[in-house]
Structure 1
Amino acid sequence: MRTLSKLLLTSALVFPVSSHAALTVFACEPEWAALAEEIAPGATTYTATTARQDPHHIQARPGLISKMRKADIVVCSGAELETGWLPVLQMKSANPNVQSRNKGLFFAADQVDTIGKLEKVDPTMGDVHPEGNPHLHLDPYRMVEIAQALAERMAKLDPENRDTYLANAKKFSESWETNIKRWEKEAAPLKGKNLVTYHSNFDYLLQWLSVNVVGDLEPKPGLPPSTQHLASLLNLSKKTHIDAIVYASYQDKKGADWLSQKAGVPAIELPMSVGGSAQSNNLISLYNDLIKKLLEVTRRPENS
């Protein structure tokens, strides 16, 4: 028995991962954990953040380092969204699987075109992303492309389950495209509405739905609303019709509530990702809830 135990232990050290073992996924944000589970439902998936946390500012805690050390693939937004903490996790985890973008490091922003790219950046511009807006999970068309790219990357890492990953991505895309048609029909009344937003969180979503962003609660990206800036937005509301103010579930609502009260327009909290509201427990329900909450704008008496 002792000899057998030694043989088994030696085998485990030489061959640490079975060829049939499911992937271990480290997702930086909940949306990518949800997408990974669609494509690889048998995978072990860990999410580093919640929808009620600002993904720009996360501490590289020991628990996160431990989870990354075990990962076969890290799935993140990219476009420098996680630049303040992801490199620290990579370094301290010392996991060779997740150091290269050609292997186990997958950035969604690398798979599609991003909006808001900047050729030149200087410190006076605030917390901007020169590689473009990283919140691209709120564009359903880009999500189809990202799902396909993620399935192909998983297939590369785990070739024995290639057919499963690709089949699941196809199934996801077909379901997603059906939902896109429904969402676009339901959201048609939102076209042309004017919103004040908080940061650029919902730019992809609002651009897709042809909703206008006429103001931002941030005086500069990354800076909280100031009294002077809020006063300028109030003045804007007297010149330009504003239908609503929207902010993410993890953001401080004080500025939005102040402007809402003074300008007489609703302030709406929107889920930024899966789990950002009680109704958004997966990707489809996230979109369902976002559109439902935005449609509240059209039910105001002055808009009827």
Structure 2
Amino acid sequence: MTSFSCSTHFRWALTAHISIKVPTIKFYNGKTHRGILFVLLLLAVADVHASINVFACEPEWAALAEEIGGDKLTIYSATTSMQDPHHIQARPSLIAKARRADLLVCSGAELETGWLPLLLRKAGNAKIQTNQPGNFVAADYVKKHDVPRKLDRSMGDVHAEGNPHIHTNPENILLVAAALQERLSEIDADNERYYLTRYQAFEKRWKQLVAQWKEKTALLQGANIVTHHNYWTYLNRWLGLHVLATLEPIPGVSPSSSHLARIKKQLSQQEIKMIIHVSYVSDRASQWLAEQTGAPVIALPATVDYQRGQTLSQWYDEVIRQLLSVK
């Protein structure tokens, strides 16, 4: 190995634009090499600006992480608003992202059980394995609904830990946000004050928004609805909506014509405000029932369109706008 010494001192300043004064390095053989130290300086600057890599299983958690973590995080969402998070493949691209992640943020409650264990195993990233600080499960911080008293295969796609779609109640978002701020501060202690400040600002703003949404939707309380799937359980309870029937005979199983006929008969004497289904699910059954009952069909977006820059508050605004559009 060639030994060398620096014949000059150097300094650099980090401002809005990075300015680097590149020194001259002279080896003992008399040759001058600026390039080597320039590369070293770039690596040093990159390290100063290194961000926490966040792998979010669903878009809602990517959006929430951005609210709390700001420019300290580099965030990747494994799914989009038009994908069913139950059924995702552990593709090589996802494995590569998980391998580089410092923090994994997922819904939990078995929502990702069909693909996440395989993804974690193939990624081989010790930081984000179960029970590690880098593995954050949102459902652990809220009260879960639809927890089955017993569980067997005949019940369909039922989650033993309860309904995993916790993000549909905006009050749950604040509970998860508080826990996420603490977790970020744990794995990135140097920026603890930054995360706390952003969380406090988010908390204040979010409470105001929740109060506004609650006031806007007061007239919906007690309204009779039909849902395709139990996706909106937390939203329905928050708004006080009354679910008369669910089109799926058991969770995850498409309704048969005979099942729909029974629902039609069951609802014959009921006034239905609306039929709600998730945007990524076929609306065929919902439209059939709408034709039979005259109730309008509402296709609510399942979650934040994070890929297009939508925020959590914008998503809730859209959900509530659609619900209120039914007269």
Deviations 1:169-195 (A, max 9, x none): 111111010001100110011011011
Choose the corresponding residue for 1:195, options 225, 250, 257: 225
- Give 1:1-304 correspondences, 5 Å limit: 1=33, 4=36, 8=40, 18=47, 21-42=50-71, 43-275=73-305, 281-297=310-326, 299=327
CA contact (8 A) 2:60 2:306 kept: no
CA contact (8 A) 1:52 1:276 kept: no
Quick one: distance in 2 between partners of 1:177 and 1:197? 28
- State which structure, 1 or 2, has the greater radius of gyration over its C-alpha atoms: 2
Aligned with 1:202: secondary structure? helix
Deviations 1:106-142 (A, max 9, x none): 1100112211112421001110011011100111111
CA contact (8 A) 1:274 1:281 kept: yes
Aligned with 1:239: secondary structure? coil
Quick one: distance in 2 between partners of 1:175 and 1:6? 45
Aligned with 1:225: secondary structure? coil
**By how many angstroms is 1:18 displaced?**
3.7
Deviations 1:34-56 (A, max 9, x none): 00000111111001101111000
Aligned with 2:105: secondary structure? strand
Identical counterparts, % of pairs: 45
Unaligned 5+ runs, structure 1: 300-304
Partner of 2:22: none
Partner letter of residue 110 of structure 2?
E
Quick one: distance in 2 between partners of 1:130 and 1:184? 30
Quick one: distance in 2 between partners of 1:93 and 1:286? 31
Q: 1:276 to 1:294 in 2, by over 3 A?
A: farther
**By how many angstroms is 1:19 displaced?**
6.6
Q: 1:128 to 1:91 in 2, by over 3 A?
A: same
Partner of 1:302: none
Partner letter of residue 282 of structure 1?
T
* Superposed CA RMSD: 2.3
**TM-score normalised according to structure 1 size:** 0.91
Partner letter of residue 22 of structure 1?
S
Unaligned 5+ runs, structure 2: 1-32
**TM-score normalised according to structure 2 size:** 0.85
Partner letter of residue 44 of structure 1?
T
Q: 1:264 to 1:160 in 2, by over 3 A?
A: same
Quick one: distance in 2 between partners of 1:277 and 1:68? 18
CA contact (8 A) 1:20 1:160 kept: no
Partner of 2:29: none
The runs of at least 4 aligned residues of structure 1 exceeding 3 Å deviation read 1-9, 17-20
Quick one: distance in 1 between partners of 2:217 and 2:39? 62
